[in-house]
Amino acid sequence: MIRPVPHVAEMAPYALADLGGDLVSMAQNESAFPPSPRALAAARDEMAQAPLYPDPDWSELRQAIAERHMLDPNMILCGAGSMELIGCLIRAYAGPGRAVLGSAYSYAFAATASLQAQAHYRQVPEPDLAVSVDAALDNVTPDLAVVFLCNPGNPTGTMVSNADILRLRADLPGDVLLVVDQAYGEFCDAAQDPSEIFALALRGDTVVLRTFSKAYALAGARVGWGCFPPAIAGELRKLLNPNNIASASQRMAAAAMRDQVHMRAVVARTGSIREAFSERCRAMGIDVLPSHTNFVLLRFDSADRAARVDQALRRSGLLMRGMAGYGLPNCLRATICDAPVMERAATVLKEALT
């Protein structure tokens, strides 16, 4: 018999959203709107290069990111989705005998990556369904190696202030790596200056991650990036797969980064649909957390009601994401789709609740 190593044998497969066949997916926080037309044109142009390996240094893409965010290109690394960067960070800095701290409802992949690395994964409570810096600081232990924090949070959609993140960093021990995952950062850049958070990388102990999967509408291209202290970037490169991002994906992402007008329009349209949908849901008595992302978390008065609403949505061809796996069985997470889909969802919710 061929046996895997024990820690792999014991792992459950990663629980991606149920794809639900013909249902309209409101389950994976993909963009409701297409990417920049310039990104699509760049991918078509790049197809002729398919016989060649891609640029292992992501030079054009890093340049586009550095110009937009006024960062040093040498501090930027790109991954096959930010998931690849998260996995490599945890493998490089956590491992047997070392712990990773996440927050109660934070992104499930950090827990999976910790299991893969045989690190302990611990969660701090999120009393108000928002990250609590005090709770994180109360859970610092001698074995703590990495604090992984999503801001805005997924699946909560809530945001903590830059001041709170800066306070967390200042009060964490200097040998604990802080990873700030800003997968939804573009949805709140107008409200909070992102440069204050990127600047934390200059301290040498903090990494800030972003992705092209959400606001840039390129989830299928698999491109994530981050701002890394140079020493950490050097270690991470040892673990990233060489040639990790397909040429067409690199070109698409660079073109999308250079089309900020398009991205901001996607963010603005998504935000206005989100606010209108949230208001309608609140009028039906559903508790909707304030969201700074492209999704909303709908809280019902019981797990049973959430399950019945989920069934009614599925019968009408719509698939939201059940949150039992996150310990929130009375919640459904709804990706903001285009206005007609949200209209259908609101109609089904209304019927299911009356």
Ligand X SMILES: *Cc1c(COP(=O)(O)O)cnc(C)c1O
As measured in angstroms, the least distance from the Cβ of 103 to ligand X is 11
225 Rama sector, left if φ>0, alpha if ψ -120 to 50, beta otherwise: beta
**Residues β-bridged to residue 45:** none
58 binds ligand X (CB under 6 A): no
Task: Find the part of the chain contacting ligand X (CB under 6 A) among 139-147, 190-198, 207-215, 313-321.
Answer: 207-215
46 binds ligand X (CB under 6 A): no
Task: Find the part of the chain contacting ligand X (CB under 6 A) among 139-147, 213-221, 240-248, 304-312.
Answer: 213-221
Tell me how far apart the alpha carbons of residues 28 and 30 are, in angstroms, rounded to a whole number.
5
As measured in angstroms, the least distance from the Cβ of 223 to ligand X is 7
As measured in angstroms, the least distance from the Cβ of 8 to ligand X is 21
As measured in angstroms, the least distance from the Cβ of 295 to ligand X is 9
126 binds ligand X (CB under 6 A): no
Out of 183, 221, 252, 296, the only residue in the binding site for ligand X (CB under 6 A) is 183
Kindly state the tokens that stand for 19: 């794809």
- Quote the distance between the C-alpha of residue 30 and its chain's center: 11
Size (the chain), residues:
354
Out of 31, 103, 112, 154, the only residue in the binding site for ligand X (CB under 6 A) is 154
Task: Find the part of the chain contacting ligand X (CB under 6 A) among 41-49, 76-84, 157-165, 310-318.
Answer: 76-84
DSSP string, 28-54: S---SS---HHHHHHHHHHGGGTTSPP
Tell me how far apart the alpha carbons of residues 95 and 90 are, in angstroms, rounded to a whole number.
7
Out of 43, 61, 75, 83, the only residue in the binding site for ligand X (CB under 6 A) is 83
Contacts of residue 104, Cβ cutoff 8 Å, sequence gap at least 6: 123, 124, 125, 126, 327
Say if residues 299 and 286 touch (Cβ distance below 8 Å): yes
Q: What are phi and psi of 45, to 5 degrees?
A: -60, -35
As measured in angstroms, the least distance from the Cβ of 291 to ligand X is 12
As measured in angstroms, the least distance from the Cβ of 19 to ligand X is 16
Between residues 211 and 352, which has the closer beta carbon with respect to ligand X?
211
Q: Are strands 99-103 and 120-124 parallel, antiparallel or unpaired?
A: parallel
As measured in angstroms, the least distance from the Cβ of 40 to ligand X is 18
82 binds ligand X (CB under 6 A): yes
As measured in angstroms, the least distance from the Cβ of 109 to ligand X is 7
Task: Find the part of the chain contacting ligand X (CB under 6 A) among 210-218, 251-259, 278-286, 346-354.
Answer: 210-218
Residues 21 to 40 in contact with ligand X, rule: CB under 6 A: 29
Tell me how far apart the alpha carbons of residues 79 and 233 are, in angstroms, rounded to a whole number.
12
Helices (H) and strands (E) in the chain, counts: 13, 13
As measured in angstroms, the least distance from the Cβ of 351 to ligand X is 30
Out of 46, 126, 164, 181, the only residue in the binding site for ligand X (CB under 6 A) is 181
Which residue, among 186, 339, 208, has the nearest Cα to 259 in the 3D structure?
186
219 binds ligand X (CB under 6 A): yes
270 binds ligand X (CB under 6 A): no
Three-state SS for 321? strand
Out of 211, 244, 291, 335, the only residue in the binding site for ligand X (CB under 6 A) is 211
Q: Please report the beta strands in 63-216, taking only residues with DSSP state E, as ranges in sequence order.
A: 76-79, 99-103, 120-124, 144-150, 177-181, 206-211
Residues that bind ligand X (CB under 6 A): 29, 81-83, 107, 150, 154, 181, 183, 211, 213-214, 219, 224
